[in-house]
Amino acid sequence: MKKSHGPAFRKERVELAPCSACRGKAVVKGVFFDLACDNCSASGWVEALTGNALPADELVTQLSLRLQAAERQIQEMRTSRAMGPEGIYQEGNRRGAGGTTYTGD
């Protein structure tokens, strides 16, 4: 992972904002078809602080971080929904048991 340019070694999370030119759609309406938005490198996202498009290599990483976070969220939502009734049951059970094993502090 050697890069010859830039401080790209450290992967910091960059705050992204939807591109104002295409409103986050990554494309703008052309006459006959949608055109890639060049304000945001056709990503739909710009750097929140500056409003500039990120360089492509940085953009890929930032989008990946964002996607991973989103996937985690989806996964959590799925999991919590899947064990919804069971979770409520366990909650009631714990309360009913009066904390026999769980003493808090």
Which of residues 14, 16, 19, 54 is near Zn ion by CB under 5 A? 19
Nearer to Zn ion, 27 or 77 (CB): 27
Element (H, E) at 81: helix 56-82
Which of residues 17, 18, 36, 39 is near Zn ion by CB under 5 A? 39
Check residue 63 for interaction with Zn ion (CB under 5 A).
no
Check residue 17 for interaction with Zn ion (CB under 5 A).
no
Taking CA atoms, 101 is separated from 53, 90, 92, 93, in Å, by: 54, 14, 15, 12
Least distance between Zn ion and beta carbon 6 (Å): 23
Least distance between Zn ion and beta carbon 7 (Å): 25
98 DSSP β-pair partners: none
Q: DSSP labels for 59-74? A: HHHHHHHHHHHHHHHH
Q: Are 40 and 26 in contact (CB under 8 A)?
A: yes
Nearer to Zn ion, 39 or 61 (CB): 39
Which residues sit at the interface with Zn ion, rule CB under 5 A?
Answer: 19, 21-22, 37, 39-40
